[in-house]
Amino acid sequence: MTELTAQPVTLPARPAKGRAKFLIGGVVMLAAVVYLIVSNIGAQQEYFITVDELEAKQSDLVGRSIRISGAVIGDTIEYDGKTLTFDIVNIPDSAATIEDEGGLAKVLHEAVTNPDAKRVTVILIDQPKPDLLQHEAQAIVTGTLGEDGMFHADELLLKCPTRYQEAVPEQVGG
Amino acid sequence: MTAQLGVILLFLAFLCAAYAWGASFLGGRREDDRLVESARNAAIMTWPLLTAAALTLISLLVRGEFNTTFVWTVTDRAMPTYLKVTALWGGQAGSLLFWSWLMSTFTAAAMLRNWKRERHLMPYVISAAMGTLTFFIVLVAFWENPFARYWQTLGGDVATAMFGPSAFFTPLGVAWGSLAQKIPGLLGIVAKGMVPLTAPLGATAVFPPDGNGLNPLLRHPGMIIHPPMLYLGFVSFVVPYAFGMAALARGEVSDSWIRATRRWTLVGWLFLSLGLILGGWWAYDVLGWGGYWAWDPVENAAFMPWLTGTAFLHSVMIQEKRGMLRRWNMVLITLTYLQVVLGTFATRSGFVSSVHSFAQSAIGPLFSIFLGGALIVSVSLLIKRWDEMAADNELDSLFSRETFFLINNLLFLCINVAVAVGTYWPVFTELLQGVVPGVQKSSLGEGFFNATTGPMFMALIFLMGVTPLIAWKHASLKRVARAMLWPSVIALAILGAVTAIMGVRGLLPAGRVVVLTLIGYGVALDAGSLTIGEYYRGVRARMVTHGENFFAALGTMVGRNRRRYGGYLIHLGVVIMAIGVIASHVFQKETQQAVSSGQTITMGDYVLEYKNLERFMASDGRAVTRAQAVVYQNGREVAQLSPRIDSYPGGQPMSIPGKYTSFMGDDFYVLLVTWEPLSLSNATFKIYYNPLVNWVWMGGFVFIFGTLVAAWPDFSEERRSVPAKSRRATPLAAAGK
């Protein structure tokens, strides 16, 4: 019973001093937390780059932690149980632009059918081939650009405008 | 006809909620009892209306009325009935309806339960709750109407509308549509996003023969229970917020709103915790990446209100005992509420990219407007009553339980800030890109979250063990040190033994990691040992003073202080989870290899032997590719696993892992990655070895059990609530209050 073990104490008159100590303690703690957050932002930031930008600034980017997104070309997916490679083509990086251009599904479709779109080969080693990796999926890959011009990814996130989102019954399509 | 009935029920619910909102506010201002009572009746009326609307939707789902958009989107004929029912929350429109129904249930219950006792607060409680509910019903009725149906226009297009063509309403709708096209910006998106009331002239209803089907990922028991749990948690936090705002509006900022909502807060917290734990279990079981928590934006969105809610649960104890931190508690509950709304919004709108957000829609801007409004109202009420919420007491000493609670609160808030920074970083940087030079859109990965929150969680776990030993007001260092001595010695001894065993077996990682791991384990074991020590001290004291045996003493002790000892059980659950989290993080091993039939993969003490592969069609229409494999531990066969890949027609294939759980709770987690299509003799497996991962679920179980102990209604306490309250206050009075 901790409440009961509390000592009956006569209040010492020192709230002002106590408050100062509290403020200092609080400020020190907050400073530590701010430092923790800021230093880790510096260390862990992954830049969003489009395939176009990757091409343009190739030399500056080698070795830096970046994240690119693009439309997957189905024919280029190769997997031997160990090495997974596939090509992605450029799509706009902002959600607003994608909306303006008619939504993700349309943007992805146009990207993969455009023969002039910039593309880059993504390589992953010792990773399973994800279920969602298919033609016209949006791949978001995190990793580094290698000297070989390939994008060495260690994380792969896929988004698919599948039939499970935003669709209308095909049976009545026309 | 059923779909129209649903629409009409929604409209009626909207009218009731909006009326209750306005009437309760006016009634409160004018002190008009009749108006307030009429508002209450309207508020309670939303419950049968929304119940009927939800049942209508369920009946459409079960009967497979694919003419209805929502039914077509989330079900198909092949789905079993229970899945058709739970498909209610398998899509956006149904989820929002379900959310509204829960919200209405909880507010109706809160009103019936607290009507007499908190009569003076009620007008504004109704306003705050019904304001929220009205917003959600508006979303369901006008933007995300699950009862909208498919129509074929004369031009051959497919349109959606709530009702069939009407000579009067259709031209109005067309006029509105062309007006909406001209509105620029966000409001335009909002206006264009409305579901048309009536179909174009000449359109005929369309009856698709079969539906689209539920996303296979959502067909798992964890996913069936996980969203309702989160929603329940979200919704129950609205009740304490409504009471808090009512207290502010009334200017009765004493502690009665805290007492009235104590149990609601605990219930909300229970469901939120349960939702988070189940979400982790689902991810581990279904998503097949060997982990359970990835700091995904949607997980974070539910985690953030949990953090402020947890801080709130702790700091209200200081308000109850010492009459301090009134402002702070108001701020915390407001933050929790806003994060609940932001959480639902972030999940729904897809404005932060996430694996499981629904598609983008017009409701994003609507949520922003509502959130802004709620923020303005809450902050202005807080400012208005700021001075009245002064504390009764000053902090007496730096070394007191109050101080430790305060540090605990600050830590929870700092973790919240770190998680928020990480989650919304892509949004911040996208906004600032081009505005502030040098800023480029970027994101923060898992590493950021682990590195920032890890140390803070460790500090919290340390506090969790120590704080119960520290007295209110003034603690004596000597006493605390004495109380800590034996539990800490025991914890250190266990840590030493475990380290020695692991060192001998060569399992310790190298370098800095080993130090951090040992610190983490030391802190967790110490907190666990101190918590058990608290139980032990209490039980022993009763055994000595009352001559009871161990179990009787434990029973009475916990029964009489359920909030306290339930709380300690929760702490113990956290310790167990922490041990599991650290182990499965630091010591996880993985490998990926291709093998042919009869070959083996070795990992540590374990060997996986691949037998064969089979492909077949399951009764629910999915194509299954299943591998048979045997697991040996130190040469002895321990399990037969069958990791498989399920492919639903037209959907994406999904990998279901095979798992072998060892005695200590380690998982040998096997995924079938790929196979040779023709011979079926070669297959590639990915294996994760997750040490102590089951401690996470075990700890979660203890955690939830502890919350139940703390939150279970105490009927005898309620019947004599007044004397009970004064009795609780005596120890403090004795301590020189």
Residues A68 and A152 in one domain: yes
Q: Select from A2, A19, A134 the Cβ nearest to the Cβ of B471.
A: A2
Q: Is residue B428 part of a domain?
A: no
Question: What residues contact B108, with CB distance under 8 A and at least 6 apart?
Answer: B43, B44, B46, B47
**Interchain pair B212, A163: CB under 8 A:** yes
Residues A85 and A29 in one domain: no
Question: What residues contact B56, with CB distance under 8 A and at least 6 apart?
Answer: B2, B3, B5, B6, B9, B147
Give pLDDT, residue B650. 61
Among B165, B194, B218, identify where a domain stops. B218
Considering chain B, what is the average pLDDT of its residues? 86
Contact assessment for residue B2 and residue B64, using Cβ atoms and an 8 Å cutoff: no
A52, two tokens: 């176009």
Q: Is residue A133 part of a domain?
A: yes
Average the pLDDT over B215-234 and give the result. Answer: 80
A58 touching chain B per CB within 8 A: no
Residues B255 and B169 in one domain: no
CA distance B432 to B426: 10
Contact assessment for residue B107 and residue B133, using Cβ atoms and an 8 Å cutoff: yes
Q: What is the largest CA-CA distance in chain B?
A: 88
Q: Determine the distance in angstroms separating the CA of B202 from the nearest CA of chain A, rounded to an integer.
A: 16
Average the pLDDT over B451-475 and give the result. Answer: 91
* Packed helices B92-114 and B33-63: angle between N→C axes, nearest 10 degrees: 140
The residue among B79, B72, B73, B81 whose CA lies nearest residue B209 is B72
Residues A22 and A59 in one domain: no
Phi, psi (rounded to 5 degrees) for B394: -95, 160
Average the pLDDT over B355-366 and give the result. Answer: 56
Average the pLDDT over B105-132 and give the result. Answer: 90
Residues B515 and B383 in one domain: no
Residues A148 and A94 in one domain: yes
Average the pLDDT over B433-455 and give the result. Answer: 85
* Cβ-based contacts of A134 with chain B (< 8 Å): 652
Residues B256 and B373 in one domain: yes
Q: What is the DSSP string of B138-154?
A: HIIIIIS-TT-EEEE-T
CA B260 to chain centre: 23
Residues B53 and B198 in one domain: yes
Burial of B500 (0-12, 13-18, 19+ CB in 10 A): exposed
What is the tens place of the pLDDT at every residue in B617-661? 887 778 899 999 999 998 899 999 999 988 877 666 778 889 999
Residues A20 and A81 in one domain: no
Residues A140 and A108 in one domain: yes
Under the phi-then-psi rule, with left for phi > 0, alpha for psi from -120 to 50, and beta for the rest, what region is B692? left
Q: Is residue B31 part of a domain?
A: yes
What is the tens place of the pLDDT at every residue in B590-620? 888 888 888 999 988 899 999 988 888 887 7
Give pLDDT, residue B335. 95
Give pLDDT, residue B308. 96
Three-state SS annotation for B320-336: HHHCCCHHHHHHHHHHH
Check residues A27 and A92 and name the one with the higher pLDDT.
A27
Reported as a pLDDT band with limits 50, 70 and 90, residue B229 is: confident
Q: How far lies B519's CA from each of B456, B522, B582, B718, in Å?
A: 13, 5, 11, 44
Which range of residues forms the domain containing residue B103? 1-218
Q: Which of B441, B470, B531, B557 to mutate to test the interface with A (most CBs of A within 10 A)?
A: B441
B626, two tokens: 């299943």
Question: What residues contact B291, with CB distance under 8 A and at least 6 apart?
Answer: B283, B284, B584
Among A45, A65, A84, identify where a domain stops. A45
CA distance B356 to B353: 9
Residues B176 and B254 in one domain: no
Least confident of A96-110, B246-260, B488-502, B723-737: B723-737
Q: Which helix (H) or strand (E) holds B339?
A: helix B326-349
**Angle value at C-alpha B111, between B17 and B39, nearest 5 degrees:** 40
**Interchain pair A129, B686: CB under 8 A:** no
Give pLDDT, residue B246. 93
Q: Are strands B636-641 and B623-633 parallel, antiparallel or unpaired?
A: antiparallel
CA distance B13 to B1: 19
Contact assessment for residue B631 and residue B653, using Cβ atoms and an 8 Å cutoff: no
Three-state SS annotation for B447-499: HHHHHHHHHHHHHHHHHHHHHHHCCCCCCCHHHHHHHHHHHHHHHHHHHHHHH
CA distance B340 to B345: 8
* CA within 13 Å, CB half, B663: 2
B363 touching chain A per CB within 8 A: no
Give pLDDT, residue B248. 93
CA distance B344 to B95: 10
**B632: helix, strand or coil:** strand
Asked if residue B394 has pLDDT above 70, the reply is yes
B697, two tokens: 């679920």
Amino acid letter, A121 = T
What is the tens place of the pLDDT at every residue in B671-708? 988 777 767 788 889 899 999 999 999 999 999 999 99
Number of domains in chain B: 4
Number of domains in chain A: 2
Under the phi-then-psi rule, with left for phi > 0, alpha for psi from -120 to 50, and beta for the rest, what region is B251? left
Residues B562 and B490 in one domain: yes
Q: Is residue B454 part of a domain?
A: no
CA distance B451 to B415: 11
Q: Select from B353, B395, B734 the Cβ nearest to the Cβ of A18.
A: B395
Q: Is residue B546 part of a domain?
A: yes
Check residues B103 and B91 and name the one with the higher pLDDT.
B103
* CA within 13 Å, CB half, B378: 24
Asked if residue B714 has pLDDT above 80, the reply is no
**Angle value at C-alpha A35, between B339 and B375, nearest 5 degrees:** 20
Residues B224 and B212 in one domain: no
**Interchain pair B158, A172: CB under 8 A:** yes
Please, which residues bridge with residue A88 across strands?
Answer: A72, A120
**Interchain pair B407, A29: CB under 8 A:** yes
A136, two tokens: 């016209």
Q: How far lies A164's CA from each of B239, B353, B560, B648, B652, in Å?
A: 34, 17, 52, 12, 10
Residues B214 and B231 in one domain: no
Three-state SS annotation for B420-454: HHHHHHHHHHHHHECCECCCCCEEECHHHHHHHHH
Residues A131 and A72 in one domain: yes
Considering chain A, what is the average pLDDT of its residues? 76
Q: Is residue A166 part of a domain?
A: no
Question: What residues contact B439, with CB distance under 8 A and at least 6 apart?
Answer: B429, B432, B433
Give pLDDT, residue B353. 52
Q: Determine the distance in angstroms separating the CA of B453 from the nearest CA of chain A, rounded to an integer.
A: 9
Q: Is residue A93 part of a domain?
A: yes
* Cβ-based contacts of A5 with chain B (< 8 Å): 471, 479
Least confident of B339-348, B357-366, B632-641: B357-366
Asked if residue B255 has pLDDT above 70, the reply is yes
Residues B604 and B730 in one domain: no
What is the tens place of the pLDDT at every residue in B165-209? 988 898 998 898 888 888 877 777 788 888 889 998 888 898 988
Residues A132 and A119 in one domain: yes
CA distance B383 to B327: 10
Asked if residue B725 has pLDDT above 50, the reply is no
Contact assessment for residue B309 and residue B272, using Cβ atoms and an 8 Å cutoff: yes
B392, two tokens: 């009764």
Residues B632 and B677 in one domain: yes
Give pLDDT, residue B273. 94
Q: Are strands B644-647 and B654-656 parallel, antiparallel or unpaired?
A: antiparallel
Q: Which residue in chain A has the smallest CA separation from B217?
A: A164
**B373: helix, strand or coil:** helix
Give pLDDT, residue A86. 93
A79 touching chain B per CB within 8 A: yes
Residues B254 and B374 in one domain: yes
Of all residues in chain B, what percent carry a pLDDT higher than 90? 45
Q: Which residue in chain B has the smallest CA separation from A37?
A: B452
Residues A51 and A40 in one domain: no
Reported as a pLDDT band with limits 50, 70 and 90, residue B226 is: confident
Please, which residues bridge with residue B519 across strands?
Answer: none
Spatial strand order in the sheet of B658-661: B589-596, B682-690, B667-675, B658-661
Only one residue has tokens 């004596």, namely: B476
Residues A71 and A37 in one domain: no
* pLDDT winner (highest mean) among B170-174, B334-338, B556-560: B334-338
What is the tens place of the pLDDT at every residue in A22-54? 788 888 988 999 999 999 988 888 888 888 888
Residues A73 and A153 in one domain: yes
* Cβ-based contacts of B541 with chain A (< 8 Å): 1
Reported as a pLDDT band with limits 50, 70 and 90, residue A95 is: low
Question: ipTM beyond 0.85?
Answer: no
Q: Is the dihedral of CA B655, B211, B138, B142 positive or negative?
A: positive
Average the pLDDT over B356-378 and give the result. Answer: 75
CA distance B20 to A99: 38
Q: Is residue A80 part of a domain?
A: yes
Among B218, B251, B282, identify where a domain stops. B218
Q: Is residue B600 part of a domain?
A: yes
Which range of residues forms the domain containing residue A59? 47-159
**Interchain pair B401, A2: CB under 8 A:** yes
CA distance B43 to B46: 6
* CA within 13 Å, CB half, A43: 13
What is the tens place of the pLDDT at every residue in B265-313? 998 999 999 999 988 888 888 777 778 898 888 889 889 999 999 999 9
Contact assessment for residue B258 and residue B329, using Cβ atoms and an 8 Å cutoff: yes
The residue among B615, B669, B620, B678 whose CA lies nearest residue B645 is B615
Q: Is residue B128 part of a domain?
A: yes
CA distance A146 to B293: 30
Q: Select from A40, A67, A95 the Cβ nearest to the Cβ of B451.
A: A40
**Interchain pair B674, A79: CB under 8 A:** yes
Q: What's the DSSP call for residue A75?
A: G
Residues A57 and A103 in one domain: yes
Give pLDDT, residue A99. 67
Reported as a pLDDT band with limits 50, 70 and 90, residue B395 is: confident
Reported as a pLDDT band with limits 50, 70 and 90, residue A17 is: low
* Cβ-based contacts of A43 with chain B (< 8 Å): 447-448, 451
Residues B144 and B269 in one domain: no
